[in-house]
Amino acid sequence: MSTFSFDKKDVFSWSNCEEAQKYVGQEGYFGDTLEGLEAQIQRQNLLKLGRIDASDAICFHTLEQDELDFDTGSDECLFLPADKVKQPKPKRLRQFKDYAEFIRTVGSDLGDRLAIRRKELPIIHRVLIIEFHQGINTVGLGLCTYSYRELFEDYEWQDKEGNWQTFGVEE
């Protein structure tokens, strides 16, 4: 999962809610705790800031849709403007160079079982790693032989947690 991040200094609370007035009508993330705020960011649950009530610790009021004159949202004590959230940097991957990178990344060796699937198809194949060909950089999975390039471009493997991964390593 890509992870978004933010600086705590950019989060508005009751103590500095007056500074957030310039964000009324703009999108952001709301929460009661920093952990709750992080969860909303990871879900990309953007809501609009409707109004701020400095007389209460729960001072940020969200709006539903674009109607700035009618408060229909929820009330929260933390607000983070959307433009303060840092986008994750995409991982740059490349295909395996050799058998050692394959084993290190996939965590499986000759004789081990591995779940693979084509990226565009949901059909899972459980295959046995039967051979590696060093000179031509291929691996035998079940009855088929695949090049590292083919695995990188067209296939994914399932890790021990059940997540699907690309056949490659970070550059």
pLDDT for residue 137 is more than 90: no
Domain ends where: 52, 84, 116? 84
Same domain, 103 and 77: no
What is the model's pLDDT at position 2? 53
Domain count within the chain: 2
Same domain, 75 and 106: no
* Beta-carbon contacts of residue 84 (< 8 Å; ≥ 6 apart): 6, 7, 10, 28
Q: Is the dihedral of CA 131, 133, 134, 136 positive or negative?
A: negative
Q: 66-95 burial, b for 16+ CB within 10 Å, e for fewer?
A: eeeeeeebeebbbbbbbebbeeeeeeeeeb
Return the bridge partners of 140, or none: 131, 145
Using one digit for the tens of pLDDT, what is the confidence trace for 66-115? Answer: 444 444 456 678 999 999 999 888 778 999 998 889 999 998 888 899 99
Domain ends where: 28, 55, 84? 84
